[in-house]
Amino acid sequence: MNAVIAIDGPSASGKSTVARRLAAGAGYLFVDSGALYRGITWKALKNDMDVNSESVIDGVVDSVDFDFFTKDGAVCFRIDGVEPGLELRTEKINTKVSIIATYPSVREKVVSLLRGMRELGNLVIEGRDITTAVFPDARYKFYLDASPEERARRRHVEMAEREDIAEEAVLDSITKRDEIDTTRERDPLRVAEDAEIVDTTSMDLEEVIDYIAGRIEV
Ligand code: DC
């Protein structure tokens, strides 16, 4: 059975950058699980669907055709032959993806696809329910956290390269997503009993990576 290093945490806690770097260091594949929820949201919005309607999304979720491949040490995908790339990262998707991620039909599909990725190799995978629901048997489990203000600051720096958005608006959006992600009925974001919490508020990226790399043996 291939090894899994699982990292959960709230929006913009640095999970994906940290996970990508750890994967590169360990020679494992990096998986960004949120990208799959974003991919379903992207396809629904492209087809002008009402993402606030669970029955509408239930009706189409099975037809979202993910085609997975590995590139630069990461698991990537096309949907209907198209690689959505940075289109997954717009504020429009940010505001809708947490809603779609509350729907059980969507979660069942994504969880099953993510579990299948273990066949591809050893994984470093990040998300909201990886340590609790997708891979509760992961070899290592971490919960990355940071204050909402610090997360908004980091996400704003990242988004400002692509979109004109105020830092307060980013904080507002992150706070709303935290609320939806932690209160949804199905597999809400929470700290797994056996996960190690890493509060990165006053750490820089290199410190976080060094710390976690020092906690794992690969
Ligand atoms: O990590 P991210 O910002 O790309 O995640 C986008 C949304 O997807 C997040 O608000 C909640 C959902 N998500 C989830 O419910 N479970 C995961 N394992 C990953 C993401």
pLDDT tens-digit series, residues 7-25: 999 999 999 999 999 999 9
- Ordered by start, the domain boundaries in the chain are 4-213
How far away, in angstroms, is 213 Cα from ligand 1 center?
Answer: 24
How far away, in angstroms, is 108 Cα from ligand 1 center?
Answer: 14
How far away, in angstroms, is 2 Cα from ligand 1 center?
Answer: 23
Between 119-123, 149-153, 159-163, 189-193, the lowest mean confidence (pLDDT) is in 159-163
- Dist CA 11 CA 151 (whole Å): 7
pLDDT tens-digit series, residues 34-83: 999 999 999 999 999 999 999 999 999 999 999 999 999 999 999 999 99
Homologous superfamily assigned to 4-213: P-loop containing nucleotide triphosphate hydrolases (3.40.50.300)
Asked whether the whole model's pTM tops 0.85, one would answer yes
Q: Ligand 1 within 6 A of 37 CB? A: yes
Which residue has a Cα nearest atom 16 of ligand 1?
128
Would strands 74-79 and 66-71 be described as parallel, antiparallel, or unpaired? antiparallel
The runs of H, that is alpha helices, within 61-142 are 91-100, 104-116
Of the candidates 21, 19, 12, 33, which has an alpha carbon nearest to the alpha carbon of residue 132? 33
